[in-house]
């Protein structure tokens, strides 16, 4: 069966055949946008719990819990996004199963704080399993509607189902087995797509995937600003604007620059193969997790500026919770965007920016310094890129 073009519009039921990977004007649907907005609730809860743990002086514990919780959020989002790119039918069963996945995401959000503070993954595990089992049902529908990729779809369904049994079994393990069992099961989750797609690749749409990742990055960055502004607003009732201005200006410059750097390159040509797609998709764990952590660090820095005497976190730790995620974000975005070519001037600029952000961890006003560093990086990168584009145009016209 050849891939098909799906006419937009709601239907009671459609056969779940593959979408056309070269379909024109393929954009995110309103259901996908609703999915993202609900999913970002879990992101916000994880970031807020990270901030709480650092404020209480449990930085290492909080960072570990955050990394584990964010894996569940990110991987469930990934599973839905890539499946929808290949098999979105927008019929009643598809919508209902997607709403079940959203309900699971809200359960993950509800359990995020317990997972971070106490490493109690009971609620978050059940929410995650609900999401993934709804995904199994979708893959079984796809197997029935796409004979050419039936084996691929059944591999996805079987692999996901087996791993979910593992997650439920993990709840019965003793506490000292929690971390290693998590890592084993996470590795199994990551292995399922590579195993399934080896038989016959699903027909995901490169432009659609690039847009979906960009939109979720936008939403996470927006949530970061929202969380920080809420903290700043609460502090303004007790402090003069001048006390909080450096944090506010630096935080906004940082988030604006992170947005600009991500959207310097939006073309999906780097998604032309399975290996490239896996690198792109898996690499965004660091992009999403660091972007959300920037919001937590932004809010923590604002709270520290106003109520530093009530925080258990040292000044250096408070600064690092902001600067380190920023540096990780910038580094990973560059690695995902760069073309396969020898290192050059742009690599040097991005690398210098990462090192400068890490260095300002020790500055008197690290948030403001980070914002200024990133603003300078954006100006430099844009100038070099523009100069190269003009030079290429001149050569092309010669």
pLDDT in tens, 183-234: 999 999 999 998 998 888 898 888 889 899 999 999 999 888 887 777 667 6
| pLDDT tens-digit series, residues 63-107 | 998 999 999 999 999 999 999 999 998 889 999 999 999 999 999
Which has more confidence, 118 or 394?
118
Q: At what angle do helices 241-262 and 366-397 cross, to 10 degrees?
A: 30
Position 57 scores a pLDDT of 81
pLDDT at residue number 347: 92
Better-predicted residue by pLDDT, 221 or 245: 221
Give the confidence band of 268 by pLDDT, cuts at 50, 70, 90: low
- The pair of structure tokens assigned to 270 is 């780097």
Task: Evaluate whether 49 touches 62 at the Cβ level (below 8 Å).
Answer: yes
Please compute the mean of the pLDDT values over residues 162-174 and round it to a whole number.
Answer: 93
Q: What is the pLDDT of residue 389?
A: 78
State mean pLDDT over 254-276: 80
Domains of the chain: residue spans and CATH: 30-197 (no CATH), 206-397 (1.20.1410)
pLDDT in tens, 218-228: 999 988 888 77
Share of the chain above pLDDT 70, in %: 89
Distance CA 308, CA 302 (A): 9
Please state, in angstroms and rounded to a whole number, the distance separating the CA atoms of residues 370 and 168.
42
CB 331 within 8 A of CB 258: no
pLDDT of residue 74: 94
Lowest-confidence pick of 23-32, 124-133, 374-383:
23-32
Confidence of residue 181 (pLDDT cuts 50, 70, 90): very high
pLDDT of residue 48: 87
What are the CA-CA distances from residue 179 to residues 72, 84, 160, 363 (Å)? Answer: 14, 31, 20, 35
- Is the pLDDT at 161 greater than 90? The verdict is yes
* 235-241: Cβ within 8 A, 24+ apart: 235/302, 235/303, 235/305, 235/306, 235/307, 238/306, 239/305, 239/306
The mean pLDDT of 123-128, rounded to a whole number, is 94
The residue that leads in pLDDT, 242 or 310, is 242
Which pLDDT score, from 0 to 100, does residue 1 have? 46
pTM: 0.89
The region of weakest confidence among 206-215, 237-246, 382-391 is 237-246
Residue at token pair 């393990």: 173
Residues 231-241, mean pLDDT to the nearest whole number: 64
3 has a pLDDT exceeding 70: no
Q: What is the pLDDT of residue 175?
A: 75
pLDDT score for 310: 52
Specify the pLDDT at position 77. 94
The predicted structure's pLDDT at residue 332: 96
Task: Name the residue with higher pLDDT: 229 or 337.
Answer: 337
Write a three-state SS string for 207-221. HHHHHHHHHHHHHHH
Q: What is the largest CA-CA distance in the chain?
A: 71
For the cut 90, the answer to whether the pLDDT of residue 115 exceeds it is no
**What gap in Å lies between CA 255 and CA 22, rounded to an integer?**
33
- Place 323 in a pLDDT band, splitting at 50, 70 and 90: very high
- Return the structure tokens found at 315: 């000044």
Give 226 or 258, the one with higher predicted confidence: 258
- Tell me how far CA of residue 180 lies from CA of 108, 109, 183, 376, in angstroms: 21, 23, 5, 42
């Amino acid at each position: 069966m050849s891939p098909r073009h799906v006419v937009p519009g709601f239907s009671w039921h459609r056969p779940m055949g593959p979408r056309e990977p070269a379909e024109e004007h393929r954009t995110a649907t309103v259901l996908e946008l609703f999915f993202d907005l609900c999913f970002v609730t879990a992101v916000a809860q994880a970031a807020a719990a990270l901030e709480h743990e650092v404020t209480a002086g449990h930085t290492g514990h909080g960072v570990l819990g955050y990394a584990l919780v964010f894996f569940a959020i990110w991987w469930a989002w990934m599973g839905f996004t890539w499946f929808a790119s290949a098999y979105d039918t927008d019929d009643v069963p598809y919508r209902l199963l997607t709403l079940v996945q959203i309900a699971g995401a809200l359960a993950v959000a509800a359990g995020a704080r317990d997972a971070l503070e106490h490493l109690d993954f009971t609620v978050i595990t059940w929410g995650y399993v609900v999401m993934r089992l709804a995904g199994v049902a979708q893959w079984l529908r796809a197997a029935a509607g796409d004979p050419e990729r039936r084996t691929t779809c059944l591999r996805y369904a079987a692999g996901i189902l087996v791993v979910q049994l593992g997650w439920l079994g993990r709840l019965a393990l003793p506490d000292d087995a929690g971390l290693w069992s998590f890592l084993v099961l996470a590795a199994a989750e990551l292995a399922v797509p590579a195993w399934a797609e080896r038989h016959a690749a699903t027909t995901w749409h490169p432009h659609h995937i690039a847009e979906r990742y960009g939109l979720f990055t936008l939403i996470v960055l927006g949530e970061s600003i929202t969380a920080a502004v809420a903290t700043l607003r609460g502090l303004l009732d007790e402090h003069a604007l001048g006390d909080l201005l450096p944090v506010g200006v630096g935080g906004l410059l940082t988030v604006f620059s992170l947005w600009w750097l991500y959207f310097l390159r939006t073309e999906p040509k780097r998604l032309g193969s399975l290996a490239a797609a896996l690198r792109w998709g898996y690499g965004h764990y660091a992009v999403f997790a660091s972007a959300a952590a920037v919001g937590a660090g932004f809010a923590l820095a604002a709270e520290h500026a106003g109520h530093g005497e009530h925080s258990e976190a040292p000044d250096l730790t408070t600064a690092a919770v902001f600067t380190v995620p920023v540096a990780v974000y910038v580094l990973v975005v560059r690695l995902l965007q760069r073309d396969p070519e020898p290192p050059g001037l742009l690599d040097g600029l991005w690398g210098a920016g990462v090192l400068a952000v890490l260095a300002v961890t020790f500055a008197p006003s690290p948030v403001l310094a980070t914002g200024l560093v990133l603003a300078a990086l954006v100006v430099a990168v844009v100038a070099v890129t523009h100069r190269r584009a003009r030079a290429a145009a001149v050569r092309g016209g010669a």
